[in-house]
Structure 1
Amino acid sequence: MAHRSKVPLREAPDGGWGWMVVISCFLLTVCTRAVSRCLSIFFVEFQNYFAQDYAMTAWVHSTVDCTTMVFGCGYALAYSPSIATVGKYFNNKKAMAYGLAMSGSGIGTFVLAPVVQLLIEEYSWRGALLILGGLVANICVCGALLRPLSLAEDLSISNTSSVASRNSSEECTHKSQHEDPALPCHSVDSNSTRKDCVKRKLCNCCPSYKEYAFLLTPDFLVFAVSLLFLAYGCSTPFVHLVPYAVSAGISQQQAAFLMSILGIVDIVGNISFGWLTDRRCLKKYRKYLYILTIGLDGLSSLFIPILRSFPLLVPYAVFYGYFDGAYVALIPVVTSDIAGNAFLSSALGIVYFIHGIPYLIGPPIAGWLVDTTGSYTAAFLVSGLSMTFSSILVISIDWIKKCRNSADIQTTVIESDPSTFQTASDNQI
């Protein structure tokens, strides 16, 4: 490993050791996301061995996915930092780098799905899990390839934040000597004094609030809500596709092969959309491509209940897998566009944390719907509608930003020339 320079770089290198980071992230996604996807192949084995219904059996898969996405627990200790590190090393080639890195999920699924089925048949589900555990242990090797990168942008923001934090703390300390810290803000009449009161309380309770200031922006809040519906919708097919195919009379080997097809096409979606969205003519449309991919994935899930044979489920696996790979590669890019590259690590932690709750409750809810209705129709319809609604929410981000910019312009005009507001009020009267 080359010696790490202590001098911060002016901009992301778009290569160099960054490609080793991409390889590390690729292998990490194989050992985490691909392995967790292949747990759906164990679904029927768990259900038969433990004699449980669909809802109870689905908790096994959903718990793994949840702990992966709740930042700081389970797979998340390796998964989230590796993705954030890729974003630090690339700027102009960011979408392409993410496409290659995230394709590990598809390639891993393609290779592991039939292998896991063979391992179950040869060594039972216990032996298969033991072998997968040995594979997952290789994330320790992958972690050794991740090297933090110091950028001038990060240093500038860090210095600005520390100076602002120090000034705010001094101001808070000064005000606290003359004012009652417990004084409620609603009891203050002056607008400027009220702002000082809020600022003082912010300083007291959260000195590093600037690092997470993006959480309070309307566009990120809407994006976060959309992720809740996306995570719920996308979790159902990966957990219930194999048992649905088996219930439709398809053999266990063919059902596992559907996961392989989904995985290999997922790779094409990862890489092709990563390459496409790095083109200069398409960079400004990355968010709209993200919306398109989610909407098409949701639409395809609505048709699953009428696909009752292997030849019909193969096109679904191709279609769903391609657009799943596309939006997975675009999530970090869109997050960076909304929150800013300097806050990418914190933003990705929040984004994947948001995925955790739907991943935990989504598959059991779908299983409960199967137990209650006796079919998979309701489960896949809710999944498809959830993803479609997620894409609609992201569309509304532009409208919210326009409204906010219009309000900011109006506020600026009034503050610079108060007579403008008075004239407008007189005209209305």
Structure 2
Amino acid sequence: MAKVNRARSTSPPDGGWGWMVVAGCFLVTICTRAVTRCISIFFVDFQTYFSQDYAQTAWIHSIVDCVTMLCGLGFALCYSPAIAMVGKYFSRRKALAYGISMSGSGIGIFILAPVVQLLIEQFSWRGALLILGGFVLNLCVCGALMRPITLKDDQTTSEQNHVCRTETQGFQRASPSSTWTKEWVQTCLCGSLQQEYSFLLMSDFVVLAISVLFMAYGCSPLFVYLVPYALSIGVSHQQAAFLMSILGVIDIIGNITFGWLTDRRCLKNYQYICYLFAIGMDGLCYLCLPMLQSLPLLVPFACTFGYFDGAYVTLIPVVTAEIVGTTSLSSALGVVYFLHAVPYLVSPPIAGWLVDTTGSYTAAFLLCGFSMIFSSVLLGFARLVKKMRKTQLQFLAKESDPKLQLWTNGSVAYSVARELDQKDGESVAIAMLGSNPT
């Protein structure tokens, strides 16, 4: 096979072929996340055909989401690498690039929701799934757009790994069975892994990981149960599919506008807070959902939830990059999306069990809402504690350096500091005279 030529750059180019990578990631999110979320339209048909309750039927959707985030199988081999590639090509306009890329999920839902409902009516759920499978084959085209790029940091890491591999091969040829050689190989491999995944020991990343678990638990069930909930309150099948379309198109607006807004100078330093705000708003939307019992009330809900869902999805890679840096972004994103797996697996069946047990969607939606709010509060509290600790350390530093403290006291500081310097100079002069009596 032909050898792939890697583009070399000292920093992310913020354009050029990067926009083709954005287009490829956009198509990837349509073929993966949008198709996955449209499975909820099949929910009632699955439930009727297999004669199962809510909890059992929900496993179909939850397993698809879980395996996508958990393994190197199917969608996972497309989704995470495509997102990581966007981060390699953009720095200054990273949030906007991610906003456009992730908007594919919303556009896909907007287009596919009514189309899937029509396909089910025309060809049954089996035929609709076959057609969706053919559509997903477009992922092959998306992969062709992912041209690798080597940045300055990547070159440094690659050179270090190359030196390590060269030395290891030399030692192995010299003494292949030596205990010292085996220890060297193990040390080299452990060093490479430690360098690649050193972010796992960062307290900020640990807090982010815990927050992601609660956020993922809350966000998944809505895309499974919005259509069944709408049908349970008397909304028709077409109108329920229309709700999913609204959710999708507003998700697009959230992706792009929130990405553009948080790239502005006034909000550039507050992307973390914007991320927390978006997650918290989705949690509040969940808490209000049980009170919405008609289509005119569900439409504003779909608009609000869809907008902030698109908003925080756009900022996940941005917040991750802020914590771990660009060099480890690919591995860190892999871990973050991996952490989505278990909540995606268990949350829809748990919500279905609550619906089966209580005969209502209220408990399921409230649990999801509080989970997302807790995710936002946890990250906000961690950031507040970090800021307070930083302020305390700065205060202690000033206390330990009297001259540094004097400089912060206004116009008197200069004269006082000058007097201290003069006294220090006099002390030095006296010491020198004492040591040299002539």
2:24 equivalent in structure 1: 24
The aligned residue for residue 50 of structure 1 is 50
In the other structure, the counterpart of 1:306 is 291
Which residue in the other structure is 2:124 paired with? 124
Q: Tell me the alpha carbon deviations over residues 264-283 of structure 1, each in whole angstroms, 9 at most, x when there is no partner.
A: 00000000011011112211
Q: Which residue of structure 1 aligns with residue 114 of structure 2?
A: 114
Q: Does 1:283 align with 2:268?
A: yes
Query: Which of 194, 217, 225 in structure 2 is aligned with 1:209?
Result: 194
Aligned partner of 2:309 in structure 1 is 324
Counterparts in 2 of 1:165 and 1:140: CA distance versus 1, 3 Å:
closer
Cα deviation for residue 406 of structure 1 reads 7.5
Provide the C-alpha distance between the structure 2 equivalents of 1:411 and 1:215, rounded to a whole number of angstroms: 29
Q: Counterpart in 2 of 1:249?
A: 234
SS of residue in 1 equivalent to 2:284: helix
Q: Which amino acid aligns with 2:97?
A: A
Q: Does structure 1 retain, via aligned residues, the 8 Å contact 2:215–2:372?
A: yes
2: CA distance between counterparts of 1:167 and 1:338? 33
Range moving further from structure 2, 399-408 or 54-63: 399-408
Q: CA deviation at 1:393?
A: 1.1
> How does the TM-score come out when normalised to structure 1?
0.84
Inter-CA distance 133–163: structure 2 relative to 1 (3 Å threshold): same
- List alignment gaps of at least 5 residues for structure 1: 169-175, 182-199, 414-429
Is 1:350 aligned with 2:335?
yes
Q: 2:435 maps to which residue?
A: none
Counterpart of 1:260, as a letter, is S
The residue number in structure 2 matching 1:98 is 98
Give the residue type in structure 2 aligned to 1:86: V
Q: Distance in 1 between matches of 2:165 and 2:319?
A: 29
Alignment-derived partner of residue 65 in structure 1: 65
Q: Is the 8 A contact 2:6 2:149 kept in 1?
A: no
Cα distance, 1:10 vs structure 2:
1.0
Aligned equivalents of 2:396 and 2:59: distance in 1? 51
**SS at structure 2 position matched to 1:127:** helix
Q: Distance in 1 between matches of 2:6 and 2:345?
A: 41
Aligned to 2:32, the other structure's residue is in SS state helix
Contact 1:71 1:352 in 2 (8 A): no
Q: CA offsets per residue over residues 319-357 of structure 1, 9 Å max, x none? A: 000000000000011111011111110000000000011
Q: Which amino acid aligns with 2:133?
A: G
* Letter of the structure 2 residue corresponding to residue 290 of structure 1: Y
Please list, as runs of the form range in 1=range in 2, the aligned pairs for 1:128-207 lying within 5 A after superposition.
Answer: 128-159=128-159, 207=192
Give the secondary structure class of the aligned counterpart of 2:92: coil
2:415 corresponds to which residue?
Answer: none
- 2:428 is aligned to none
Q: Which amino acid aligns with 1:29?
A: T
The one-letter code of the counterpart of 1:88 is K
Task: Using the TM superposition, name which of 357-366 and 388-397 deviates more.
Answer: 388-397
The whole-number CA distance in structure 2 between the counterparts of 1:407 and 1:281 is 27
Which letter maps to 1:89? Y
Q: Secondary structure at the match of 2:328?
A: helix
- After superposition, the CA RMSD in angstroms is 3.0
Equivalent pair of 2:215/2:371 in contact (CA under 8 Å): yes
Q: Tell me how far apart the structure 2 counterparts of residues 401 and 164 of structure 1 sit (CA, whole Å).
A: 37
Which amino acid is 1:69 matched to?
M
Answering whether residue 204 of structure 2 is matched by residue 219 of structure 1, we say yes
Report deviation, 1:4. 7.1
Q: Does 1:295 align with 2:283?
A: no
Residues 71 and 99 of structure 1: is their aligned pair in 2 closer, same or farther, counting only changes over 3 Å?
farther
The answer to whether structure 1 residue 392 and structure 2 residue 377 are counterparts is: yes
For residues 58 and 80 of structure 1, what CA distance do their matches in structure 2 show? 24
1:235 aligns to 2:235 (yes or no): no
Question: CA offsets per residue over residues 85-140 of structure 1, 9 Å max, x none?
Answer: 01100011110000000000000000000000000000000000000000011101
Structure 1 residue 163, shift from structure 2 partner: 6.5
- Please state whether the residue corresponding to 1:52 is helix, strand or coil: coil
TM-score (norm 2): 0.82
Partners of 1:70 and 1:356 within 8 A in 2: yes
Query: Counterparts of 1:65 and 1:336 in 2: how far apart (Å)?
Result: 24
The residue that corresponds to 1:88 in the other structure is 88
Q: Any conservation in 1 of the 2:290–2:361 contact (CA below 8 Å)?
A: yes
Q: Structure 2 regions of 5+ residues with no counterpart?
A: 169-177, 399-438
CA distance in 2, matches of 1:228, 1:373: 25
| Corresponding letter in the other structure for 1:96 | L
Question: Residues of 1 paired with 2:6 and 2:110: CA distance?
Answer: 41
Whose Rg is larger? 2
- Indicate how the Cα distance of structure 1 residues 7 and 27 shifts in structure 2: closer, same or farther if over 3 A, else same: closer
Cα distance in 2 for partners of 1:217, 1:411 equals: 23
Q: Secondary structure at the match of 1:342?
A: coil
Cross-structure match for 2:412: none
Shift of the 53–177 alpha-carbon distance from structure 1 to 2, 3 Å rule, reads closer
Amino acid at match of 2:143: G
Counterpart-to-counterpart distance in 2, 1:5 and 1:15:
18
The alpha-carbon deviation at position 411 of structure 1 amounts to: 12
Native 8 Å contact 1:99 1:271 kept in 2:
yes
Partner of 2:419: none
The secondary structure found in structure 1 opposite 2:74 is coil
Q: Is the 8 A contact 2:252 2:307 kept in 1?
A: yes
Q: Tell me which amino acid in the other structure corresponds to 1:35.
A: V
Instruction: Report the Cα offset of residue 155 of structure 1.
Output: 1.2
Deviation at 1:243, TM superposition (A): 0.3
TM-aligned CA deviation for residue 70 of structure 1:
1.4
CA distance in 2, matches of 1:160, 1:368: 52
* Alpha-carbon shift at residue 409 of structure 1 (Å): 8.1
- Give the conservation status (yes or no) of the 8 Å contact 1:223–1:397: no
2:23 counterpart of 1:38:
no
CA contact (8 A) 2:117 2:238 kept: yes
Alignment correspondent of 2:254: 269
Relative to structure 1, is the Cα distance of residues 73 and 272 closer, same or farther in structure 2, using a 3 angstrom cutoff? Answer: same
SS in structure 2 opposite 1:303? helix
1:73: how far off?
2.1
Does the Cα contact within 8 Å between 1:113 and 1:259 map onto a contact in 2? yes
**CA 1:60–1:285 in structure 2 vs 1: closer, same or farther (change >3 Å)?**
same
